[in-house]
Amino acid sequence: MSDILDWTNADLDTLDMAAYAARAETMAARLREETGAGRLPFLTMPYEAALKKQLADLEGYLDRFEHMLLLGIGGSALGARALQKAFHPSQDRPGHRGKSLWIADNVDAYALTAYMDSLPPEKTVVVTVSKSGGTIETVGQYFIIKEWMKERLGDAWADNMLLVTDAEKGFLRGEADAYGIKALPVPDNLGGRYSVLSAVGLIPALFLSMDIDALLAGAREVADVLADPALSGETLAGTQAFRLAAWGAALMDKGFTEMIFFAYIPLWASFGDWFAQLWAESLGKEGKGSQPVPAVGVTDQHSVNQMFMDGVRNKACLFLTCPSLPDGPDFPEDLPDQFAYVRGKPFGELIRAEGLGTRMALSRSGVPLVEIRMGADGPRQAGKLIGLLGAATILTGWLMGINPLDQPAVELGKRLAKARMDADGLAEEKAHLAAFLNANRDEREF
């Protein structure tokens, strides 16, 4: 089955798509310039051949371990989790005996203590992911896990550590050089939220025996045409990535300030969290953007769908489906009459019916909706989805007139947190912090 975008209920006749379509030639020129200068490795993937060799060299090493503890946050963890949930679901099911991926993506003393209490260090590889090597939430965990490994493994501690960081600079690169720790690079100009198909996400994928070649090939199906040095405006205008971008920008012009990502592929639900960071961190700038809202079908039909259907009319929806999901067991024939409509039918038919009903109901409720219908739920299709949404996000940002590759507002919170921990410098941040903490507070017990 083919992978399809169904635009039937996208409300295109009410949106000024033509204004953005007219900019296809300008956008194509920008893509040619940016890819030619090496500033969009998400699309060009110049690192692919070298990475495949590095991963092949790692395969035997990773086979030694039963557990992988991934230390990372945001884009260093969300893609890996989405892939694990989609293609290694046995870890979350009863009786799991195979390899396990554990992701420490928060400042959570309970979880970090549990990992050290329960994981066998000799059978655990610790992967620390930070492009800059200075992400304190991640590097802070590294400091503690490093000491745990030293205490338990002695001089061999570094053999169970793997770093994913800048190729040349930063604290973690210094650790790799000082202790001989295995390290793979994060390519230049590849931001965390765009990095899942680099070493950041593919090391965990390799550990869990996923088809990495298929993931990369799927992404290339979308990216290669956009990275073509001869890309024309006409060709770009015909891509689904550009059409999604024009739709997203036109929606915001009409006051649609929320973008639902409704996943009716249960194992792919965590792609909603990955998309939320991608869309929010890329487009939420200068008072612009739309808030991404991950939702899971059918679970969220019974929770937030009431708001989607009958709340403020400011929502659009990307609706992810796959008609070829397994049927599963059949419902029994001897059901009570009130459930006669499912007698003998496959259990999997229910999610298809629920998805269709919700899609129709959203459309009838005035929610512009594009269905992303995957022909299968395999790794090639996942790579294709990653490529499509990443490219569409970049193009949406350009059409909005903002930079979709930075995240300036996020840095303020990081600097204030460092000021609270009394890091050197940061005089201005420390002054703001003191004023905030010394203000008269309106605090009331409940």
Backbone angles phi and psi of 328, in degrees to 5: 70, -165
414 is a catalytic site residue = yes
Ramachandran category for residue 276: left, alpha or beta (phi over 0 → left; psi -120 to 50 → alpha): alpha
The CB-side HSE value for 77 (13 A sphere, CA atoms) comes to: 18
**How many beta carbons lie within 10 A of that of residue 36, not counting itself?**
12
| Distance, CA of 74 to CA of 132 (rounded, Å) | 13
Out of 414, 418, 430, 432, pick the active-site residue. 414
Nearest Cα residue to 86 out of 446, 373, 376, 354: 376
345 is a catalytic site residue = no
| Distance, CA of 367 to CA of 437 (rounded, Å) | 43
∠ at Cα 398 (397, 401), nearest 5°? 90
Question: Positive or negative CA dihedral for 181, 109, 88, 66?
Answer: positive
Backbone angles phi and psi of 9, in degrees to 5: -110, 30
429 is a catalytic site residue = no
- 4-6 and 369-373 beta bridge pairing: antiparallel
C-alpha dihedral, 228 to 372 to 297 to 200, nearest 10°: -10
| Distance, CA of 234 to CA of 41 (rounded, Å) | 23
- 182-185 and 161-165 beta bridge pairing: parallel
| Distance, CA of 398 to CA of 32 (rounded, Å) | 14
Out of 175, 258, 281, 429, pick the active-site residue. 281
| Distance, CA of 274 to CA of 74 (rounded, Å) | 9
Backbone angles phi and psi of 393, in degrees to 5: -65, -45
Out of 302, 333, 443, 445, pick the active-site residue. 302
Nearest Cα residue to 390 out of 79, 26, 135: 79
3-class secondary-structure state, position 439: coil
Q: Tokens representing 225?
A: 């045409």
Q: Cβ contacts of residue 60 below 8 Å, gap of 6+? A: none
Nearest Cα residue to 116 out of 135, 97, 142, 85: 142
| Distance, CA of 335 to CA of 267 (rounded, Å) | 28
Q: Residues with catalytic annotation?
A: 281, 302, 414
